[in-house]
Amino acid sequence: MGIEPGYASVVGLAAAHRARLVVVADEVVPASTRWVVGANAVDAHLVDAEYGRDFVADRVGPVALAYDGAPDEASGEPLRVVRGVEVGNVFQLGTRYTDALGATWLDEAGAAQPFVLGSYGIGVGRLLACIAEHHRDEHGLALPASVAPFDVAVVSLGRDPATAERARALAAALRGAGVTALLDDRDLGAGAKLADADLRGSPLRLVVGERGLRRGVAELRRRLATWRHDGPGTTRPGEVREVPLEDVVAAVRTERDALRSELHSA
């Protein structure tokens, strides 16, 4: 019939061949202009094809429309409409750039051939957006321990320079023990620092304050009491517990490992 696979088109087919076909088009096709269609020749396309002038369909309808509950003829089950995101992508670049660069290889006959390029990518920003959409609450991010850039947010509270110094020492000790720690020793009030810690979403928060230091303790809390796997909703923070300063590193590591274990077992 003169149709080239991969570059198929009804444009330009002989009348006898066209008469053997039933062409179905979505209702958006007649309403749109300047189509790019196959030319029935390898590596060839026709630009600015117009419905009614260059091609017509025998049947026009909402064939591209899928709705929640629409029948699936293949499985017999109703279709479900769900949200998705394009995280990975593949682009066939052909020889456009290698032709321009003169990048070639030698085939079996010793003739130079341009490299054919493909691009394969994963959108890191899109991945973060997916995680943020699923793991959050009204206070900000609530990142899973498997992807959080920091295991624990160390927050120094109080005006006493000794408090900030002790917080820095604890953060350094945690890092030395393989725990990623983000230290907040800014000259800000307690409310702003604690709110920022929740906003950033580190799984754990360690508060080093003047009152606690006088009793030899720091406050450790999970960002969330439990991890939700069914999307954002009503959440509650973990309970604050006091940890003796000499046990802080061990306690944080135990909590971090427990959080990771919970994710693997979910």
Q: Do strands 204-209 and 181-184 pair parallel, antiparallel, or not at all (unpaired)?
A: unpaired
Tens-place pLDDT, residues 223-242: 987 655 554 445 577 899 99
Give the single-character DSSP code of 192: H
Crossing angle of the two packed helices 161-176 and 248-265, in degrees rounded to 10: 50
Separation CA 99–CA 114 (nearest Å): 6
Separation CA 58–CA 18 (nearest Å): 11
- Decide if 222 contacts 207 (C-beta within 8 A): no
Tens-place pLDDT, residues 160-205: 999 999 999 999 999 999 999 999 999 999 999 999 999 999 999 9
Output the pTM of the full model: 0.62
Tens-place pLDDT, residues 23-41: 999 988 999 989 999 999 9
**116 has a pLDDT exceeding 90:** yes
For the chain, what percent of residues have pLDDT higher than 70? 96
